[in-house]
Amino acid sequence: MKILFVVDPIDSFKIEKDTTFAMMRQASRLGIETYVAELHDLYWESGSNVCARSTHIELLSEVAPGHHDWYARRETSVLALKDFDAVLMRKDPPFDMEYFYATHLLSRAKTEGAKVFNNPEALREHPEKLAILNFPHWISPTLVTREAERIKAFHAHHKDIILKPLDGMGGMGIYRVKEDALNLGSLIEGLNQNGQQTVMVQKFIPAIKEGDKRILLINGEAVPFCLARIPQGTEVRGNLAAGGKGVARPLSDHDWAIAKDLGPKLAAKGLFLVGLDVIGEHLTEINVTSPTCFQEITNQTGCDVATLFMDALLKALRD
């Protein structure tokens, strides 16, 4: 059996916390051959199938955190995506036009027989900030607009708000504006590019002090532990990339309720691995491009998320 991972350059992986690395490690333990390709390696030509310049890698048994020598490169060859047992799209955000084009190539590969996770059509239909609009009963008061006056009116009503770009990741470009409206005008101008870009505005949720919880769904089923990313110091963002502290916790009853509502619906669309972001009782994002936090949850709880994932993937391939 062989799996192709479509990824960022693998020398950039921080293997002590990288989720794709955890997937690869578990695949290797199961005797599955691991191949990697980047977006620029994908192509299609008339009269042929969607192919990728694919590098077969072997994971090394002894790996030092922070080192690049965690794998050995074997042969590199051009292979049709349909000839892999599974293709895992694990390219990190942002969802830019190159990512968009890649999903179209992956959609074509699907029609040729490739098994692609997550479903490329679903990736296009579920931008991570906007996907929550499909579940308005779980979200806090939210506005999506490019109009400055609407944002100011939203602030005047809710007093304490969060502004965020629609294409950000890792907490980039997220700002809080309190009741004094300090710098609101300049923040709007910067985020909406003087009315040229759409932004999301949400009522501030005080429960962020208890953490921005990442709930993982694997083929519709929730992992029983989440990772609460807790802001540190004066920071309002809990994202690990923004310095948040990750603390694994069992899912609360409310977390389970959200997961059981969304899980089957998202799985039915071909979203095999999903990361729900929840603050307090409110859903804030639905991450589908490259959900993370496998290793943090596993290291703190003993719940082997990579094993759960690979077992579910193999079952899906058999079914």
Q: Which residues are catalytic?
A: 129, 164, 214, 229, 237, 277, 285, 287
Let me know: does 122 contact 271? Beta carbons within 8 Å: yes
SS3 content of the chain, % helix, strand, coil (to 5): 35, 30, 35
Pull the structure tokens for residue 14: 């921080």
Q: State residue 89 phi and psi, 5-degree precision.
A: -85, 105
Task: State whether the Cα torsion 28-34-38-44 is positive or negative.
Answer: negative
For residue 241, give the 3-state DSSP assignment: helix
Q: Who's near 3: CB < 8 A, 6+ residues apart?
A: 27, 32, 33, 34, 35, 84, 85, 86, 87, 88
Q: Who's near 114: CB < 8 A, 6+ residues apart?
A: 50, 80, 81, 82, 84, 87, 106
Three-state SS annotation for 125-137? HCCCCHHHHHCHH
Give the chain's end-to-end CA distance (angstroms, integer).
16
Q: Is the peptide bond before 118 cis (omega within 30 degrees of 0)?
A: yes
Query: How many whole angstroms separate alpha carbon 128 and alpha carbon 100?
Result: 14
Query: How many whole angstroms separate alpha carbon 143 and alpha carbon 152?
Result: 11
Question: What is the distance of C-alpha 300 from the center of its chain?
Answer: 21
Q: Which of 61, 78, 79, 82 is nearest to 70 (CA)?
A: 61
Q: Assign residue 45 a region: left if phi > 0, alpha if psi is -120 to 50, beta otherwise?
A: beta
